[in-house]
Structure 1
Amino acid sequence: MEKFSKIKELIVLIESDAQKFYKAGNGAAGTRLRKGIQKVRNLAQEIRQEITAKKNSK
């Protein structure tokens, strides 16, 4: 559950960069957004692996 909470926190943190990139066309915000989304993706993959392992252990 800790990693899931971390994903939610990351989404909140990168929300302002998403707005800056999509509304104002700020390229630096786009770079920060891509990096943040990559972190979310990596955490989501870790959660998926944990779920699979827990499900298969039963």
Structure 2
Amino acid sequence: MEKFKHLKELIAAAEEDATKFYDKANGAAGTRLRKAMMDIKNAAQEIRNSVTELKNKEK
């Protein structure tokens, strides 16, 4: 569950840069947002892998 909480924190942190990029056309915020999206993707992949691992242990 700790990994899921971390994912939620990453998304919340990216929200400010998303607002700056989309609403104010701030290019630097777009760069930070792209990095945050990659971190979110990697965190989500870790969760997917651990869920699959736990699911397969039960069988």
TM-score (norm 2): 0.93
Consecutive unaligned residues of structure 1, counting only runs of 5 or more, are none
2:18 is the alignment partner of 1:46:
no
Consecutive unaligned residues of structure 2, counting only runs of 5 or more, are none
Shift of 1:14: 1.1
User: For the residues of structure 1 that align with 2:44 and 2:54, how far apart are their CA atoms?
Assistant: 15
Give the aligned partner of residue 23 of structure 2: 23
User: For the residues of structure 1 that align with 2:43 and 2:49, how far apart are their CA atoms?
Assistant: 10
Give the aligned partner of residue 56 of structure 2: 56
Give the aligned partner of residue 34 of structure 1: 34
User: For the residues of structure 1 that align with 2:54 and 2:45, how far apart are their CA atoms?
Assistant: 14
User: For the residues of structure 1 that align with 2:47 and 2:40, how far apart are their CA atoms?
Assistant: 11
Tell me the C-alpha RMSD between the 2 structures. 0.6
User: For the residues of structure 1 that align with 2:7 and 2:22, how far apart are their CA atoms?
Assistant: 21
